[in-house]
Amino acid sequence: MPDILSQGRDREPGQRRWGRLTVVAVLIAAAAVVVGLRLPWPGHAHHRAAASSRSASGPAVISLPRVPDGVAGPTRRWPPGLRVPATGREQPIGGLPRERVDYSFARTAGGWVIQPGSPSDPSCADCAGHLLPVYFLNDQASSVTVVGLADGVAPAVQPGRLWLTSFPPGASLDTAAGTAQEVSLSGTRVGPSLRLPPGYLVDQATTRGLLLGAAPVGRAMTTDRLWNPADHRADRTFDNVIATGPDEVAWAPPCTSVCRARVLNLATGRGTVITMPRGSTAASGSFSPDGRLLALQVSYSTGSAGGSLAMQLEVASVASGRLTAVPGTWASSDALVGFGWPASGDSLVAELGFTTKVQLTAWRPGAARLAVVALNPREAATAIVVG
C-alpha cells in the first residue's frame, strides 16, 4: 500500500507498506493525503547530515554535526491548498475501539482504510488466522464503518472496492495458501474468491493483476509477485518493492558498487532505470498522484564504525529517470518520520524530527527551497496521517 510511512519493507501481513500510528488514532488538519511508508519514530539523538562536497555522482564526504538544528526554509510560503497543523486540536476517530493504540492507515479513493495491528502470539510468531476488523473512514466523516474481517487489506483498482486476504486459523505464513476476496466498502462480495499462491497476500491491485507480497515477517529482502489468475503468462517477480500504484511498480534490486531503482509502467510495459548517486541506495519511495514522479528516500552510509546512515529526499522523473535532490533534506536516516504526496496536488510533504524540534516540510518540484512549519509536541506524531 503506497500510504503512510515505512522504512523499506518490514514485512507485516497486510501492513507492510502501511504506516503505523502507535498513538491513539486522531485526525489532524494537514495536507490532503495519507503519506507513505513505515519509518521508526525519531529518538533523542538525531543529527542533521551535511555534505561537505557533492559531485554529480554523489557526496564525497558526509558528516553528522553534533548539534541538530533542523531544516531551513521560509515559514510563510506554504503551498496553496495544503493545510498544516496550527491549533494542536485532536479529533478522535469514532467507531474505533478505545483500547487500541496501534492502527494502520492506507489511502484509498474517497477516504482511508484502517486496520488494527495483529496481536502477538508468543507460541507462533509467523502464524496467521488472526482475522482483524477492516474499517473505512470517508473523507468527510469523523467515524468509521466496518468493511469486514481479514488478515490483510489492499486497495482495488476500481474506486469503492478493496481486496481482503484471509488465511486459515493458525496456519504458517510460510506455507499457507490465503484466500483473496474483492469487496465493496460496505463489505459486499464482488466476484469469486481467489486462492492465492502459498505464502503470499495481496499488497496492491493493479491494472495487470494482483501484486502479491510475501507474507512471512522478518525478511530483509523479499520478492513480490505480479499475479494474474486469468493469465499466468503475465506473472513476474520484483525484488525489494519500494513503491506501488495501480499502473506502476518501483523496486530496488540488490546492488554492489552502483545501485539503481527500477520502475515498470504496467499499462504500457515501459521500464525506467534510476541510477542512484554514488554510495547510496533507495530505501523507500512514493509515487505522485499522477504517476509522473517518484519521491525516494536515498540512504548513504557515513562510513562510521556504528554504521550510521544519512539520507536525502530525491525526486525522480518516471519518464527519464533523472533525479532531483529536494533542497534542505540532508538528515540522519532516523530523523525522517515520513514523506508522501497530497492526493490531489504536486507538493511533496515530509515530517522530520530533531532533538530540539519536529518539522513538517513541503516542496514543489522546481522550487529552490522548502516551505517549513515547526510542529508543537501535540501535533507531532509517530506517523503522518494527513488529509
pLDDT band at 334 (very low <50, low <70, confident <90, very high): confident
| Grid coordinates given for 63 | 558528516
Among the residue ranges 40-49, 182-191, 270-279, 284-293, the one predicted with the least confidence is 40-49
Letter string b/e over residues 316-331, b meaning 16 or more CB atoms within 10 A of that residue's CB: bbbeebebeebbbbbb
pLDDT surpassing 90 at residue 345: no
Average pLDDT over residues 125-138: 80
From the list 219, 218, 217, 238, the residue with the least C-alpha distance to 227 is 238
Tell whether the model's pLDDT for residue 21 goes beyond 60: no
Could you tell me the residue range of the domain that residue 300 belongs to?
Answer: 5-375
Asked if residue 173 belongs to a domain, the reply is yes
CA pair distance 256, 325, nearest whole angstrom: 22
Residue 326 — pLDDT band, cuts 50, 70, 90?
very high
Q: Which cell is 71 given?
A: 531544516
* Total domains in the fold of the chain: 1
**Within a domain: residue 385?**
no
User: What is the pLDDT confidence band of residue 308, given thresholds at 50, 70 and 90?
Assistant: low
- pLDDT recorded at residue 39: 27
98 found inside a domain: yes
Three-class secondary structure of residue 62 per DSSP: strand
Rounded to 5°, angle at Cα 294 from 290 and 295: 120
For the residues 151-164, what does the mean pLDDT come to?
A: 92
The average confidence (pLDDT) of the chain is 75
* Structural domain includes residue 37: yes
Mean pLDDT (whole number) for 22-29: 34
Predicted confidence band at 193 (pLDDT cuts at 50, 70, 90)?
very high
Choice among 234-248, 302-316, 343-357, 368-382 with the minimum mean pLDDT: 368-382
Residue 29's CB is within 10 A of a number of other CB atoms, namely 14
Residue 272 CB partners (closer than 8 Å, separation 6+) = 262, 263, 264, 265, 318, 319, 320, 321
Grid cell of 202 as nine digits: 495481496
Q: Which of the residue ranges 48-62, 84-98, 341-355, 365-379 would you say has the lowest mean pLDDT? A: 48-62
Element containing residue 155 per DSSP (H, E): strand 152-155
Task: Tell me which of 33-37, 143-147, 248-252 is least confident.
Answer: 33-37
Place of cell 503522518: 384
Q: For residue 116, is it within any domain?
A: yes
Name the residue with higher pLDDT: 126 or 268.
268
HSE toward the beta carbon, residue 284, CA cutoff 13 A: 28
Residue 386 lies in a domain: no
Backbone angles phi, psi at 113, to 5 degrees: -100, 135
* β-bridge partners, 164: 153, 181
Residue 338 domain-assigned (yes or no): yes
pLDDT tens readout for residues 267-280 = 899 999 999 998 89
* pLDDT single digits (tens) 194-240: 999 988 889 999 999 999 988 755 454 478 999 998 887 778 999 99
Give me the CATH number covering residue 58: 2.130.10
The single-letter code of the amino acid at 70 is: G
Supply the pTM of this predicted model. 0.78
- pLDDT of 126 reads 63
In a domain, 346, yes or no: yes
Q: Give the pLDDT score at 377.
A: 59
Counting beta carbons within 10 angstroms of the beta carbon of residue 41, is it exposed (0 to 12), middle (13 to 18) or buried (19 or more)? middle
